[in-house]
Structure 1
């Protein structure tokens, strides 16, 4: 199988920094998982987000639970092929807040028309993703409007649009990766962000070693 980002980027994958190519060069045939360890220097959720939404999606591992700074985190990446034959990259994040750990889980899928990122254990949210490579060799992910996966088949439009931008690259000076994720709305501006740094290692991983939470509870074939 082809790694999800190589499939999305094509020849531009080779323009990524070599350490980024290593990071995203694994697929379901590699027999490895990745463990990331680092610090999120800032996690922010706008006060304009109603607390019931933060509570609901936070408890379903689809959103960070609260704003904070200098939060230790780990992240485990697993690759597999789902029941629909799609190459998948499951990302299990664990944020170590002082009040206790909280999770943010997603599954990135090489869909029939491009990348799709499903967030939450349900999953709860869907982002169509466009991937590109910056002149510096960073990976840039930009989403179309958020889609809700509960209730009516709706995409957020106009003043309700939520769009995500994620940048990841290699810091030569500090010999570590850096990441910056932000979700914006045209009316209230920044809705949430997290940014920080991490290191990464490969670990041997057979299909039987992948934890249950790497698979969403429901298999969703919807990609837009």
Structure 2
């Protein structure tokens, strides 16, 4: 079974660097997870008055208010079938400040939109579609679309004043034998909400379909953008 990213990129998937291909090729049939460990050289952004709102977002694993340099980082990816039988990829990101902070998501492929849909946070409260492209160095670039509030019966687009656009770039450096990542989340009016950049290595292991309890969202809502 092709992964949700293979389906979104189509023939373009073959142009990814082999290590990027492998990382984004996980599917539920394989029962293989990946674990990345590394360091964020810098985590920045968010004006002082934004910090209380970012802290509130941290309760739902949507954002975090801490900033710094050389912050230990880990990321776990699990491909699995959700309660509707749809192929998903869990992104469990952990930033190890004095207290561990999360920035989690569940991604699903939309047959209707032919895009990956990104459900954000532990309760899937926010949702966006992703445009995915191959970079000239064989890396992968993901850019979010309009941000929606996700409810059981409907989704509602957020006004641009409260919305954000995220750009994530990930590539592999052969000389360093490490992955690189850069993420920038911007609001049209207030600038950078947060961003980070760093490097990491990845290991793969069998999990035999036994997902850790934190992988699935606390509230798996109906996926209204599909």
TM-score using structure 2 length: 0.91
C-alpha distance in 2, partners of 1:5/1:157?
Answer: 28
What residue in structure 2 maps to residue 102 of structure 1? 101
Separation in 1 of the partners of 2:163 and 2:65?
21
2:176 equivalent in structure 1:
174
Residues of 1 paired with 2:52 and 2:3: CA distance? Answer: 37
Give the superposition deviation at 1:219: 2.2
- Mark the runs of 5 or more structure 1 residues left unpaired by the alignment: none
> Aligned residues, how many?
222
Inter-partner Cα distance in structure 1 for 2:49 and 2:13: 36
- CA distance, structure 2, for counterparts of residue 49 and residue 213 of structure 1: 30
User: CA offsets per residue over residues 131-169 of structure 1, 9 Å max, x none?
Assistant: 111122110101102222369843234444411111000
Equivalent residue, structure 1, for 2:138: 137
Q: Helix, strand or coil for the counterpart of 1:128?
A: strand
Structure 1 residues 138 and 23, CA, compared in 2 at 3 Å: closer, same or farther?
Answer: same
Q: Which residue of 2 aligns with 1:205?
A: 207
- The alignment's TM-score, normalised by the length of structure 1, stands at 0.92
Contact 1:86 1:111 in 2 (8 A): no
CA displacement at 1:15 relative to structure 2: 0.5
CA distance in 1, matches of 2:175, 2:49: 37
After TM superposition, give the deviation of residue 222 of structure 1 in Å: 1.7
Structure 1 match to 2:148: 147
Secondary structure of the 1:52 match is helix
Q: Which residue number in structure 1 is paired with residue 191 of structure 2? A: 189
Distance 1:165 1:46 in 2: 16
Indicate the SS of the match to 2:157.
Answer: coil
Higher mean alpha-carbon deviation, 147-156 vs 195-204, is at 147-156
Unaligned runs of 5+ in 2: none
Contact 2:51 2:65 in 1 (8 A): no
What SS does the corresponding residue of 1:50 show, helix, strand or coil? Answer: helix
Q: How do 1:55-94 and structure 2 match up within 5 A?
A: 55-94=55-94
8 Å Cα contact 1:156-1:162 kept in structure 2: no
SS in structure 1 of the partner of residue 220 of structure 2: coil
Deviations 1:12-48 (A, max 9, x none): 0000011111111111011211010000111123116
After superposition, what is the alpha-carbon deviation per residue over 1:95-115, rounded to whole angstroms, capped at 9, x for unaligned? 110x22122211111123221
Task: Give yes or no for the alignment of 1:219 onto 2:224.
Answer: no
* Structure-2 separation of matches of 1:15 and 1:203: 25
SS at match of 1:212: coil
Structure 1 partner of 2:116: 115
